[in-house]
């Protein structure tokens, strides 16, 4: 990795501002229902305090829309961090202001402090483009970022989930800390290694699996991957747009009619032999979008009034054989409506194939979002090489985009 990490610098006696992604799910009683995003930040936090630094953690949670709202407080995260660390985490009930400044100034080596939700301030999410075009917005964003930047001696970026966004805490704060160390945390390092490096230098045979509802969300991904992989497997709702492009009747299945011609163009491009696009050969169709719908396995045209909600058994076998023979696999998007047990078998087959490929020595990377949820639900998270913590960020990395927030980190 060309960027410095927290392991490359001396943090002893330093106050380290660390942008983490603690956007965890909460129930109606403000209890955390999944603490994975907290536990994945722990190696970086532990490294800092073990090496004599203090940590000022910051994150967003939910979408409070620039207003202080107790429903989106990070207080439950402070409580969980205290339990994991076995020590009290200082919780600031704001992320800027005199009280925050005083608490940060009083931090001693080994102390951990968590700021309140960054998105309680609209300045956090002002887009950089808008700030450049509007002096008032730029001043507001800059003033907010400066107040945070003044709290510490080192900046550590470890929030991959927001690495594709130029939020104040992700981009403007480190810009105001030029001259001080600006480095990656271990989670960001791992994401770049597994997503960035794998996509650009994956060992052949290299298979990409794309699913989910919309072709429009994955067009740039497909175009980027066609230059890098041997096979692109397409399933999920987006598969029916490709089926329609081939002249297959798709009944009431999901389809983006505006992208049928683009799907046909991509299929034509794949005929040059450099990259195969593998489509479903059968599906599990239902007479309504319901867990208890009537179902049938359909090859070829889907009857009127029926909709494809999962890949069929022949497709599952076709996809599994391709995955298990690969040396590198990246996966983003389910094969069907996996939240309903009746339409989860295709996604399960792909997940199990990834686990088997990993056991056979392949490097397997699962993009965030629904794919990550599926593999976790199945208890296979530890059976693949890497599960990304960022849905949108992992998708943009698969598109081949460069992230501004990573580009400004110190070079090794």
Q: Residue 307 has what pLDDT?
A: 97
* 2-52: pLDDT as tens digits: 899 999 999 999 999 999 999 999 998 899 998 989 999 999 999 999 999
Query: φ, ψ for residue 25 (rounded to 5)?
Result: -75, 140
* Catalytic-labelled residue, pool 62, 196, 392, 400: 392
* Catalytic-labelled residue, pool 37, 80, 190, 244: 37
Q: Residue 229 has what pLDDT?
A: 95
Does the annotation count 119 as an active-site position?
Answer: no
Q: Which of 129, 156, 187 is the last residue of a domain?
A: 187
> Does residue 239 sit in the same domain as residue 142?
no
Q: Residue 1 has what pLDDT?
A: 52
Joined tokens for residue 332:
């983003």
Does the annotation count 37 as an active-site position?
Answer: yes
Domain of residue 146 covers 6-187
8 A C-beta contact, residue 269 and residue 258: no
> Does residue 25 sit in the same domain as residue 167?
yes
* Catalytic-labelled residue, pool 214, 327, 383, 404: 214
Does the annotation count 284 as an active-site position?
Answer: no
> Does residue 321 sit in the same domain as residue 368?
yes
CA quadruple 67, 68, 70, 72: dihedral positive or negative? Answer: positive
Using alpha carbons, select from 234, 228, 239, 400 the residue that is nearest to residue 328: 228
Characterize the bridge pairing of strands 182-184 and 54-58: unpaired
Q: Is the pLDDT of residue 304 over 80?
A: yes
* 349-408: pLDDT as tens digits: 999 999 999 999 999 999 867 888 899 899 999 999 999 888 788 888 888 888 999 999
Q: Find the mean pLDDT for residues 217-237.
A: 93
Q: What percent of the chain has pLDDT over 90?
A: 83
Q: Residue 83 has what pLDDT?
A: 97
Q: Is the pLDDT of residue 340 over 90?
A: yes
* H/E stretch holding 157: strand 154-157
The contacts of residue 72 (CB under 8 Å, 6+ apart) are 61, 62, 63, 64, 117, 119, 120
Q: Which of 171, 187, 203 is the last residue of a domain?
A: 187
> Does residue 334 sit in the same domain as residue 236?
yes
Q: How many domains does the chain have?
A: 2
Using alpha carbons, select from 219, 197, 213, 238 the residue that is nearest to residue 395: 219
SS3 state at 256: coil
CA 327 to CA 325: how far, in whole Å? Answer: 7
* 237-269: pLDDT as tens digits: 999 999 999 999 999 999 999 999 999 999 999
Mean pLDDT of all residues belonging to the chain = 94
* Catalytic-labelled residue, pool 237, 239, 333, 369: 369
Does the annotation count 214 as an active-site position?
Answer: yes
């Amino acid at each position: 990795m060309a960027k410095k990490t927290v392991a490359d610098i001396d943090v002893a006696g330093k106050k380290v501002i660390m942008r983490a992604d603690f956007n965890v799910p909460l129930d109606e009683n403000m209890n955390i229902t999944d603490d994975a995003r907290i536990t994945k930040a722990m190696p970086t936090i532990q490294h800092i305090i073990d090496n004599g630094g203090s940590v000022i953690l910051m994150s967003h949670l939910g979408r409070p829309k620039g207003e202080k709202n107790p429903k989106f407080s990070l207080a439950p995260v402070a409580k969980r961090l205290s339990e994991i660390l076995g020590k009290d985490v200082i919780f600031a009930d704001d992320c800027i202001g005199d009280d925050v400044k005083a608490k940060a100034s009083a931090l001693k080596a080994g102390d951990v402090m968590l700021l309140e939700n960054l998105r309680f301030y609209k300045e956090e999410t002002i887009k950089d483009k808008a700030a450049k075009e509007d002096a008032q917005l730029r001043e507001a964003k800059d003033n907010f970022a400066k107040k945070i930047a003044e709290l510490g001696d080192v900046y550590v970026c470890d929030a991959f989930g927001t690495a594709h966004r130029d939020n104040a805490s992700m981009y403007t704060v480190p810009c105001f800390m030029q001259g001080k160390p600006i480095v990656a945390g271990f989670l960001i390092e791992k994401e770049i290694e597994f997503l960035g490096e794998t996509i650009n230098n994956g060992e052949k045979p290299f298979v990409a699996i794309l699913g989910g509802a919309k072709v429009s969300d994955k067009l740039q991904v497909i175009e980027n991957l066609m230059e890098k992989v041997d096979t692109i497997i397409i399933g999920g709702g987006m598969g029916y747009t490709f089926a329609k492009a081939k002249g297959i009747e798709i009944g009431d299945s999901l389809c983006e009619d505006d992208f049928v011609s683009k799907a046909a163009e991509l299929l034509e491009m794949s005929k040059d032999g450099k990259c195969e696009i593998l489509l479903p050969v059968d599906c599990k169709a239902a007479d309504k979008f319901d867990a208890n719908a009537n179902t049938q396995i359909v090859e070829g045209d889907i009857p009127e009034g029926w909709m494809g909600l999962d890949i069929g058994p022949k497709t599952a076998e076709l996809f599994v054989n391709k995955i298990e023979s690969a040396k590198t696999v990246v996966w983003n998007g389910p094969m069907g409506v996996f939240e309903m047990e009746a339409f989860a078998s295709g996604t399960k087959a792909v997940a199990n194939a990834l686990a088997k490929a990993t056991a056979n020595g392949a490097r397997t990377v699962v993009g965030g979002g629904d794919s990550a949820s599926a593999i976790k639900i199945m208890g296979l998270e530890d059976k693949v090489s890497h599960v990304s913590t960022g849905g949108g960020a992992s998708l943009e990395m698969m598109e081949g985009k460069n992230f501004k927030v990573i580009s400004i980190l110190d070079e090794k």
